[in-house]
Amino acid sequence: MHLPCNPLLLAIAAPLAVALAIALGLPKRWSVRLAYAGFAAPLLLALDVWWHFNAAPKADGYAYLARYSTGLDGLGIGLVLGVNGIALPLFVLAGIVGFAAGLYALQSAAERLKLYLMLLLVMQAGLMGIFASVDVFFLYFFHELALIPTFIMVGIWGGRDRNYAAMTMTIYLTVGAMLSLLGLIALYVKSGAHSFDLIALRSTLAAQPLGAVAQKHLFGLLLFGFGILVSLWPLHSWAPLGYGAAPSSAAMLHAGVLKKFGLYALIQVALPLLPAGAAPWGHALAVLAGFGNVLIIGLITIAQRDLKQMVGYSSVMHMGYAFLGLACGSALGVGGVVLLMVGHGLSVSLLFLLATSVHQRTRTFAMDEMGGLGRPAPVLAAFFVAATFASIGLPGFANFWGELTIFIALWSFSPWFTVLAVSGVVISAVYGLRAAARVFFGPPSEAFVLVTAQHPPADLSWGERAPALVLLAALLFIGLWPRSIARPLDGALPTSAAVAAAAPAADAAVRL
């Protein structure tokens, strides 16, 4: 496909343009029609970029590199777009999840649908922008562009406790964003590159690396700033709360894609620019992620009675694997994190979508008041079971590869943490299967019998099936053919991240 302009720019501009058109007062019928195009364009462009990526000409590892002046050149800020092997899987993820969330929103009967669609489209543009930006300023800018609509959507369309949830979410995420912004500005100042361009920053810092102490402190600032955004324990409480209250499409986009911004920025910005800064934090990070996210949050997830909270907590738990992958500091660990981000993004957004569909049929998120939903809604049950098994790392789905590579990489870092992380495999089976059983199997609860009498539940409609199918197909495709994202990724891993590829070696392995 030959496009008149850069596909990355188009992927950002298309949803923005549609949002603008809706804002300018397009009638509702046309707004809906145009919104389909607005959600589909980024996906098609992302798939096109993916398809051509291996053959595309690259500069510094980036394909489709383009620079646009913004009038801020004095500050070293320019809109620099491009995707490398790390950005590509996430760019595609953003396209897929954005499309699915858009489709789901379009079939929902949300009040003030035009505003809802508009905000989602802005969010979608921001998400595409994050993973297409090579400029740190715009990386951050696009994150904020996607984040603000999230707050608004929680505040307007949220479920119960929406004000408290929105407040919590806003405080946490603002603090996280401020900390990381502080870190990024400090990095910009300290580097002396007078540029936010990652490529320039990289070459400057490769020639004149910062001192070890400065690297350590800067990395710490970025780690905890971004860590809050990714719900690093104990700074995670915004996540289950916020997702519990958020409208489904917003939860899908935030948990599925936007949350990955923190990890992505750590991998694309912090690790390559501060190669000596990560190692001192490795152990502390592993302790927080291993004991906090995986073990403690895993157990907390078992205790959940609310379906949406359960999905929210499980997502926090899986982020623990991602942090563990970062903690080991090897290229394999980082690669595993990217694989896991893609798998988790797809599965968690599918779970949020299905949780909402369950809610529409049971009129509640309380799992005690469900049961036996599999009989009236077998297709919904099948999707939910597939999504659950995907999220607990069943092979054949994308998540498995991320978990496996992280576990393998983790052994070189510390066998004990590997044991801890692998124990999560059992924990997640417990809460995942328990939830599926409580919602869909066994006899219906008394409460659900009453609901059924008034509102006989129907199976998944085609409007709900279409976005679910998109997500499930992506999960299976990557699960069965991981090379499709691992090949571009393999070429882009930050080997400079100190530790060599975790090639097996008899001597290095055992530090029990």
Partner 1 sequence: MAPSHLAFLVLAVPAASAGFIALFLRRRGGPASALSVLAAVAVAAGAGWLALHGPRFEASREWLRLAGLTVSFGFNFDDLAALMLAIVGLVGLCVHVFSLGYMRDDEARARYFGGLSIFMFSMIGVVLADNLFMMFIFWELVGFSSWLLINHWYERPAAAEAAKKAFIVNRVGDFGFLLGIILCYHLRGTVNLSDLAAQASSGTAPYSTAIPLLLFCGAIGKSAQLPLQVWLPDAMEGPSPVSALIHAATMVAAGIYMLCRIEVLMVNPALTVIMWVGTATALYAALCAIGQRDIKKVLAYSTLSQLGYMVAAFGMGTYFQPQADGSYHTASGVSAAMFHLTTHACFKALLFLGAGSVIYGCHHEQDIFRMGGLAGRMKLTFATFTIGVAAIIGFPFLAGFFSKDAILALAFASNRAVFAVLALTAILTAFYMVRLWKIVFFGATRSEAAARAHEGGGVLTGPLVVLAALSLVAGWRRLYPAAFAGILANVPEAEGRAHGIVLGVSLAVLLIGAGASWAFYAASGTDELERRAPGLFRGLAALQQCFDRFYAWYVAKVQQRAAMALNFLDVIGLSGLVVRGTAGLAGLAGLGLRALHVGRINAYVYWFLAGVAVLWLFAAGIL
Is 139 a binder of partner 1 (CB under 8 A)? no
CA distance 356 to 405: 32
Is 382 a binder of partner 1 (CB under 8 A)? yes
Is 330 a binder of partner 1 (CB under 8 A)? yes
CA distance 479 to 467: 18
Residues 6+ apart with CB under 8 A from 380: 354, 357, 358, 361, 373, 440, 459, 460, 464
Which of 389, 413, 417, 448 touches partner 1 (CB under 8 A)?
389
Which of 326, 332, 358, 370 touches partner 1 (CB under 8 A)?
332
In the complex with partner 1, which residue's Cβ is closer, 453 or 505? 505
Site stretch for partner 1 (CB under 8 A), options 16-24, 145-153, 251-259, 449-457? 145-153
Is 419 a binder of partner 1 (CB under 8 A)? yes
CB of 7 to partner 1, least distance (A): 26
Q: Is 274 exposed, middle or buried (0-12, 13-18, 19+ CB in 10 A)?
A: buried
Is 151 a binder of partner 1 (CB under 8 A)? yes
CB of 100 to partner 1, least distance (A): 19
Report 355-374 residues binding partner 1 (CB under 8 A).
372, 374
Is 383 a binder of partner 1 (CB under 8 A)? no
Number of residues that bind partner 1 (CB under 8 A): 92
Is 170 a binder of partner 1 (CB under 8 A)? yes
Residues 6+ apart with CB under 8 A from 482: 339, 398, 401
Report 423-462 residues binding partner 1 (CB under 8 A).
423, 425-426, 429-430, 433-434, 437, 440-443
Instruction: Please name which of 297, 279, 325, 298 lies closest in space to residue 417, comparing C-alpha atoms.
Output: 325
Residues 6+ apart with CB under 8 A from 472: 350, 383, 386, 387, 390
In the complex with partner 1, which residue's Cβ is closer, 10 or 317? 317
| Contact yes or no for 100/40 (Cβ under 8 A) | no
Site stretch for partner 1 (CB under 8 A), options 254-262, 269-277, 283-291, 480-488? 480-488
In the complex with partner 1, which residue's Cβ is closer, 111 or 507? 507
Strand partners, 79: 68
Is 112 a binder of partner 1 (CB under 8 A)? no
| Contact yes or no for 91/39 (Cβ under 8 A) | no
**Residue type at position 399:** N
Which of 21, 44, 148, 185 touches partner 1 (CB under 8 A)?
148
Report 46-85 residues binding partner 1 (CB under 8 A).
71-72, 74-75, 77
Strand partners, 59: 62
* Cβ neighbours around 257 below 10 Å, total: 32
Is 174 a binder of partner 1 (CB under 8 A)? yes
